[in-house]
Structure 1
Amino acid sequence: MLKIVEKSKIWFSISIIIVLAGLFFMFTNGLNFGIDFKGGTVVKIDFQKEMSQEESAEIDNIISKYCDVDDTEKRIMNKTELELSFKQGVIEKESIGKLHKEIKEKFQLKDDYVLSERNIGATVSKELTKTAWIAVVAATIAMLIYITFRFEITFGVAAIIALLHDILITLSVYAIFDVKINTPFIVAMLTILGYSINDTIVVFDRVRENKNKNRKLPLNELANSSIRQTISRSINTSISTLMTIVCLFILVPAIREFTLPLIVGVLSGSYSSIFIASPVWVMINKRLKKAYK
C-alpha cells in the first residue's frame, strides 16, 4: 500500500537539498539575469544563409575585438538569423555598429542585413523586474483566496506552500546550471503556477470528498487514499504534457527560454502536488488539533 504521508521526511529532504544547493549558487554566483532584467542591446542580423561552424567561429573572433565573447549571447534563429545580445556596460554603443558592419563586410551581406536593434535601459529593466514580482505575488494571493473560498484555509495554505516549493525548485535549477533568465521565464513561471495549482486541486478535491464520506478516517489514511486515487491521473497528465513541451524544446530553439522552465516546473509541480501539498495539509491539521486540545 502506497504511504506518502508517512514518508514525508524523505520527500521534504529531497526538496530541501535542491533548494539549499540553489541558494548556495544564488548567494555565490547570483542568478544569471539576461538583458531584459539587466539592460543592454539585442541585434538581429539576416545572415542570408545557414551558418557553418567555421563561420560561427569567425563571428566569435570579430566579437572578441570589441568585447569578451563570454559576455555576449549568440543565437541562430530560423537557421539564417543571427541574434547577438550584449548586456549593459559590456560594449560601447558605437562599437556595436562597428561590430555588425564588420560582420557584413566579412560575409558580404546585403545592405538590409540588420533586421532589428533593440536597446533596453536600466530604468526599463528595473520596472520589468518589479512588475514581474508583482505578477507572481498577485497570482499567488489570488490562488490562496480562491482555494480558501472553494475548500478551507488549511487547503489554501498547503497549496501556497507547494507553489512556493515549485518556484524555489525552478529558481534553484536555474542557479545551479547558470541558465539565463529573461522575460519568457516570468511567463513560464505564471504558467507553472497555474498548472501546479490545478494538479493540487485535483488531489485536494478528492481529499475533501473522502473526508465528507468518512469523517472518522485518520488524516494520514485520508491523504494517502486520496493520493492513490488520483496519482495515475497526475502522472499520465504530466507525461503527456512533458512530451509536448520536450518536443517543442528540441525542435523549436527560438522558444527554449520559455519551454525550459516549463519542463522544470511541470516536473516540480507534479512532485509537489503528490509529495508536498497533501503531507503539508496533514501536518497543518495535526498541529491545529493539538493547539485546540
Structure 2
Amino acid sequence: MKPKFPILKNFKIFGIISILLCATGLVALLALPFGQNFFNLSIDFAGGTEMEFNMRQTVTQEIQSEVGALFRETTGVDASVTSSGDRNEQVLIRSASIDSETRAKVIEAMKEKYALTDDDLYGSDDVSASVGSDLQRAAFLSAAIAIVLMLIYISFRFEPTSGLAAICCLVHDLLIMLTIYVWLQIPLDTGFIAAALTILGYSINASIIVFDRIRENLRAARKEPFEEVAERSVWQTMGRTINTTLTTLFTIGMIFILGVPSLKQFTLPLIVGILAGAWSSIFLSASLWAFFRKKLRRKKV
C-alpha cells in the first residue's frame, strides 16, 4: 500500500503535538510530591468528609454560599460547596474530616433550613488522610507494575526496541488522561484506577498489532531500510486501528450520552484514553520503534 503521507518523516510534528497534550498531566503529576495539587481529588485520595444533598431546585451560587455558611456555622470548618447532578439540583460538600456526630448535626441543619427529607441525603462519607494516601500509592503502584510487566512481555515477544516504544506510548496515553482530569476538573477517585488499567490494556493491544506487522515485514524485507518497513506496517494496520477505535467509541459514547453523572465521569476519560491510544499506535509507535532501533544500532557500531 502506497502511503498517502509520510508518518515517520513527520514524527517531530506528531511528537510536539503529543508533548503539548501531555504537558499538563505531567506537570500536575510531578507537582504532587511537592504539595501542589492541580487535580480535583475526591475523598478517596485526599481524605476528608463528603456530603451530598438533593436540594430539589437549581443550585445557584447564592445557595452554594448559604450552604457553605451553614456548614461553617455548624461545624466550625470551612468547606468546598459545588453543584452536581444532570440538572445541578444536588449540592456536594467537601471538607476536612469531621466525626459522625458533627455530620449528623449538619444533616439536621440542612433538613431544617431547606425542608429536606432522609431521601434527599445522597451520601455522607468520611475517609481518613492515611487511607487516601494508601489509595494514591496503590493507584500508581498498580499502573507501574502493569507497565513493567508489559515491557518485559513485549521485549521477549518482539524485541527491546518494541518494548521501549510501547511503554512510551502507554505513558503518553496515561498523561493525556491525566491532562483531561486537570482541564475539566473531573473528580479523581477510585474509578481512575479502573479507567487507567483499562486504557493500558487497550493501548498496548493496538501497539502490538503494529509491532507484529513490522516483524512480519522485516522477515520478508531484504535490503529495504527499516524506516520504510515501519512506514508500510503502519499503513497496513491503519484500517484495523481505526475500525477498532470507532466500534469501541460507539459503545462507550452511548454510555456517556445516556448514563448517569457518575458513569459520565468514568467514561469521558476512557473516551479520551481510547483516542490517545489510537493516536499513539498510528503516529508514535512505529516512529519510536525506528528511533530506538537507530540509536541502539549506533551504539553497537
SS in structure 2 at match of 1:66: helix
Change (3 A) 1:164 1:111: closer
Residues 33 and 180 of structure 1 are in contact (CA less than 8 Å); yes or no, is this contact kept in structure 2?
yes
- Decide which of 78, 81, 84 is 1:75's aligned counterpart: 84
Per-residue displacement from partner, 1:252-291 (whole Å, max 9, x unpaired)?
A: 1222231121111111111111111110000111112222
**144-153 or 123-132, which deviates more:** 144-153
Residues 230 and 286 of structure 2 are in contact (CA less than 8 Å); yes or no, is this contact kept in structure 1?
yes
Alignment of 1:17 onto 2:11: no
For residues 188 and 162 of structure 1, the distance between their equivalents in structure 2, rounded to whole angstroms, comes to: 16
**163-172 or 102-111, which deviates more:** 102-111
Change (3 A) 1:158 1:169: same
Within 5 Å, which residues of 2 pair with 1:1-293?
1=3, 2-23=5-26, 27=31, 30-45=38-53, 47=54, 51-53=56-58, 58=63, 61-67=66-72, 71-76=80-85, 82=90, 84-88=92-96, 96-111=103-118, 114=121, 116-252=123-259, 253-293=261-301
Deviation at 1:191? 0.6
For residues 201 and 42 of structure 1, the distance between their equivalents in structure 2, rounded to whole angstroms, comes to: 42
Q: State the AA in 2 paired with 1:256.
A: K
Unaligned stretches of 5+ in structure 1?
none
**169-178 or 91-100, which deviates more:** 91-100
For residues 112 and 66 of structure 1, the distance between their equivalents in structure 2, rounded to whole angstroms, comes to: 20
SS in structure 1 at match of 2:223: coil
For residues 90 and 22 of structure 2, the distance between their equivalents in structure 1, rounded to whole angstroms, comes to: 36
Per-residue displacement from partner, 1:76-114 (whole Å, max 9, x unpaired)?
A: 38x89957341426x786554333223323444445654
Residues 78 and 95 of structure 2 are in contact (CA less than 8 Å); yes or no, is this contact kept in structure 1?
no
Residues 5 and 278 of structure 1 are in contact (CA less than 8 Å); yes or no, is this contact kept in structure 2?
yes
Per-residue displacement from partner, 1:34-78 (whole Å, max 9, x unpaired)?
A: 211111223355x4xx9332699646623432249982344338x
Unaligned stretches of 5+ in structure 2?
none
TM-score, normalization by structure 1: 0.86
Residues 186 and 265 of structure 2 are in contact (CA less than 8 Å); yes or no, is this contact kept in structure 1?
no
Residues 39 and 88 of structure 1 are in contact (CA less than 8 Å); yes or no, is this contact kept in structure 2?
yes
SS in structure 2 at match of 1:119: strand
Identity %: 39
The count of aligned residue pairs is: 288
How large is the RMSD of aligned CA atoms in angstroms? Answer: 2.9
Deviation at 1:148? 1.6
For residues 133 and 30 of structure 1, the distance between their equivalents in structure 2, rounded to whole angstroms, comes to: 17
TM-score, normalization by structure 2: 0.84
Q: State the AA in 1 paired with 2:16.
A: S
